[in-house]
Amino acid sequence: MPLIRDGIPASPGIVVGPAYVLRWAVPRVPHVTVPPKSVPKEVARFHEARKWAQDRIREIQLQTAERLGPVEAQIFEPQILMLNDPDLVDGTVAYIEQNHLSAARAFELRMLEYQSEWSRSGHPMIMDRLNDLLDIELRVINRLTGLPDPDFTLSDADQRVILVAKDLTPTITVQLDRSRILGVATDAGTRTSHSAILARSLNLPAVVSLTDLSDRVQNGQELILDGRAGRVIVEPTERDKEVYRERDIKIREWEQELLLLAHLEAVTPDRQPVQLRANIDMPGEAETARVHGAQGVGLFRTEFLVVGRSAAPDEEEQYRAYRHVAEAFPHQAVFIRTYDLGGDKFPLFLHMPPEENPFLGWRAIRVCLDQPDLFRPQLRALLRATAHGDVRIMLPLVNEVRELQLTRELLEEEAHRLEEEGIPFNPGYKVGIMVETPAAALIAPELAQYADFFSIGTNDLVQYTLAVDRGNARLAPLYTPFHPGVIRLLKMTADAGRQAGIEVSVCGEAAANPLGVFLLLGLGITALSVGPSSLPEIKKVIRSVPLHEARRAVAEALELGTPDAVTEALTAGLGRWIDLSIFGGRWNLSPEQ
């Protein structure tokens, strides 16, 4: 019997080939102390190694920019900044000066403290960044202990292999030689870790979170890796290989078809147009979104401006970023979300206090309203961007009318100032909210009186409704937008928006899931926003499903009492219009999986 391991699909593609198990680790450093007179020399050695590591990562960043583009190159920015972070640098120097530790040991200890603090947070976005720390550690410690910069080119592999490892860091991933590597399988990792993002950019099929695969596989054993379904089969039978070859052909045909869709309309067969927009995390992604056929940006997350930075960005820098995106879509709406900090995103400069339950804590609009010095420049930058396109201001995690009113007051004050200063903006600017909590969905009729639009954030709405952490892999089977409790809240929000005459869109992952699209269309939601890479697939679903059929199936599903019954009913309904085997029989629903 072949060994089968299911993990998280991180980058699509099916490959068959021999395993190459890559074992690597940051070298352990012995506990060495230095005589007091050598302390200044040790501090200087640390600074030299830190600068060297920074230069080396910058070099890799430049190569990445040339090879993959500026967005991917940005991934290395936090690592470079981190090596200047006063907490890290001063903390290491203090260990050398006060405890007379060798530079390598002092740095290792400081990194261990970071790692345990970050791991303790348990939050997906921070966990994703853990292997960024490994990258830094590996370089600085190798430099200090006289080891060469590691070579991950697999030059000893004599044929194309499937790389199996416990984990990969971003710099290891970009250095992998595509001519030698067919695909990647790792024990650790998440879909949103930097290594997974880079694997997708490199078109390298990948499955992550395979628990113990690297211990179970020997070099040279044959593997099938299915990056779309998230499965690895060790020593497959001839029959397995045949099944996967057929599946590969089917998927390639499907992908060819998707390529042709970019310039076709997002319209159902019964001629209901759907606004299909893109979610982006960085300004540079606006172009990718346009190329993939997005009709505007439904969610521009602005946290990239603050996370991992030691100072808040000024109004000018923000204005340039927002304007860039607005100008990429001159005739279409661009929804820019104000900072969604807290929860899983902590900027270094805010010194956010540790919280027992950060997702139920000081987060999003709560932080912004408490920190006018942070919020006002953002609102001013957003107002100024309204002069360059249809920019809509979107507030995250709103729970009460008051939060919207307070933000409107701040906006009015800033608009007044801009007017006095003669700085252009659109006085008819629009402000709306993300519906992400059950409370917001329940009072949607009241909120609709003050909001110009609703955008439903299903990633959070699902976690708050079901009390299921969106990043907890163990709870992944419970994390579903098809729970009757969730779909009823979605319906209430959609109905309230329709009655108030405002647009209701969905920008959570449910909109990027074929079954989710079927559900949302059936609830009468005809504005969706998804990651650029999901646009073709979602457009294909829209173009395949008659709206009245979705409505009929969803009306029936709304009567059902369990998540399984709802999922089954929707699957049966959608399965009449589209071949669902393409999706590998799995519905990848959790945003962090």
CA distances to 91, 310, 341, 363 from 350, rounded to whole Å, are: 19, 9, 10, 12
Q: Which is nearer to ligand PEP, 173 or 590 (CB)?
A: 590
Q: How far apart are CA 506 and CA 523, in angstroms?
A: 11
| DSSP letter assigned to residue 190 | -
266 vs 461, which CB is nearer to ligand PEP? 461
Residue 507 binding result from Mg ion, ligand PEP, none, given CB thresholds of 5 to 8 Å by partner type: ligand PEP
DSSP string, 367-402: HHHH-HHHHHHHHHHHHHHGGGSEEEEEETT--SHH
Q: Which of 135, 460, 469, 549 binds ligand PEP (CB under 6 A)?
A: 460
Identify the active-site residue in 123, 292, 368, 507. 507
Phi–psi pair at 573, nearest 5 degrees: -65, -50
Catalytic one of 31, 47, 194, 368:
194
Q: Identify what 508 binds: ligand PEP, Mg ion, none; CB under 5 to 8 Å per kind.
A: ligand PEP
User: Closest distance between ligand PEP and the C-beta of residue 129, in Å?
Assistant: 16
Which of 137, 403, 460, 592 contacts Mg ion by CB under 5 A? 460
The answer to whether residue 591 forms part of the interface with ligand PEP (CB under 6 A) is yes
Taking Cα atoms as reference points, which of 528, 527, 583, 578 lies closest to residue 549?
A: 578
Instruction: Name the token pair of 159.
Output: 């044929």
| Residue 457 in the binding site for ligand PEP (CB under 6 A) | yes
Does residue 275 touch ligand PEP according to CB under 6 A?
no
Task: Please choose, out of 46-54, 72-80, 91-99, 457-465, the segment that lies near ligand PEP by the rule CB under 6 A.
Answer: 457-465
CB nearer to ligand PEP: give 161 or 297: 297
458 binds ligand PEP per the rule CB under 6 A: yes
Question: Would you count residue 537 as binding ligand PEP (CB under 6 A)?
Answer: no
CB closer to ligand PEP, 27 vs 361: 361
Q: Which stretch binds ligand PEP (CB under 6 A): 4-12, 129-137, 312-320, 456-464?
A: 456-464
Total number of residues that touch Mg ion (CB under 5 A): 3
Nearest to 570 by CA among 490, 516, 525, 528: 516
If one asks whether residue 190 binds ligand PEP (CB under 6 A), the answer comes out as no
C-alpha–C-alpha distance, residues 30 and 82, integer Å: 24
Place of tokens 């059936």: 522
Return the residues of window 332-351 that contact ligand PEP according to CB under 6 A.
340
Burial 32-69 (b: 16+ CB within 10 A, else e): eebeeeebeebbebbeebbebbbebbeebbeebeeeee
> In the complex, what is the shortest distance from the CB of residue 436 to Mg ion, in angstroms, rounded to a whole number?
5
135's contact among Mg ion, ligand PEP, none, with CB below 5 to 8 A by partner kind, is none
DSSP label at residue 125: H
The one of ligand PEP, Mg ion, none whose footprint includes residue 358, by CB under 5 to 8 A per kind, is none
Q: Up-side HSE of residue 542: CA atoms within 13 Å toward CB?
A: 30
**Alpha carbon distance 467, 388 (integer Å):** 41
Q: Give SS3 for 17.
A: strand
Phi first, then psi: what are they for 517, rounded to 5°?
Answer: -60, -45
Distance CA 294, CA 334 (A): 11
CA–CA separation, 529 and 505 (whole Å): 7
Q: Specify the stretch interacting with ligand PEP by CB under 6 A; choose among 73-81, 193-201, 458-466, 530-538.
A: 458-466
Site for ligand PEP in 505-534 (CB under 6 A): 507-508
Question: Given the complex with ligand PEP, which of 363 and 380 has the nearer CB atom?
Answer: 363
* 412-431 per-residue burial string, b: 16 or more CB within 10 A, e: under 16: eebbeebeeeeeebbeebbb
Q: Could you tell me the smallest distance in angstroms from the CB atom of residue 463 to ligand PEP?
A: 8
Token couple for 257 = 């078809």
Among 403, 436, 469, 503, binds ligand PEP (CB under 6 A): 436
Dist. CA 272–CA 542, nearest whole Å: 9
194 catalytic? Reply is: yes
**Encoding tokens for residue 283?**
């300004």
Closest CA to 7 of 199, 170, 156, 206: 206
Please compute Rg for the chain using Cα positions. Answer: 25
State yes or no: is 331 an active-site residue: no
Look at the block and give the residue holding tokens 């997002």. Answer: 266
The residue assigned the tokens 């419970």 is: 478
Type of residue found at 88: L
Q: Which stretch binds ligand PEP (CB under 6 A): 32-40, 90-98, 233-241, 451-459?
A: 451-459
Per-position x/- string for 278-317, each x denoting binding to ligand PEP as judged by CB under 6 A, each - no binding: ---------------------x-x----------------
Q: Quick one: 165 or 530, whose CB is closer to ligand PEP?
A: 530
- Looking at 189, 205, 342, 457, which residue binds Mg ion (CB under 5 A)? 457
Q: Which is nearer to ligand PEP, 161 or 299 (CB)?
A: 299
* β-sheet bridge partners, residue 164: 21, 185
- Could you say which of ligand PEP, Mg ion, none residue 128 binds, taking C-beta under 5 to 8 angstroms by partner kind? none
Beta strands in 56-179 (DSSP E): 161-165
Of 152-160, 255-263, 449-457, 558-566, the segment contacting Mg ion by CB under 5 A is 449-457
Q: Considering the complex, what minimum distance in angstroms separates the CB of residue 196 from ligand PEP?
A: 16
Determine the size of the site formed for ligand PEP (CB under 6 A): 11
| Residue ranges binding Mg ion (CB under 5 A) | 436, 457, 460
| Residue ranges binding ligand PEP (CB under 6 A) | 299, 301, 340, 436, 457-460, 507-508, 591
The set of catalytic residues is 194, 507
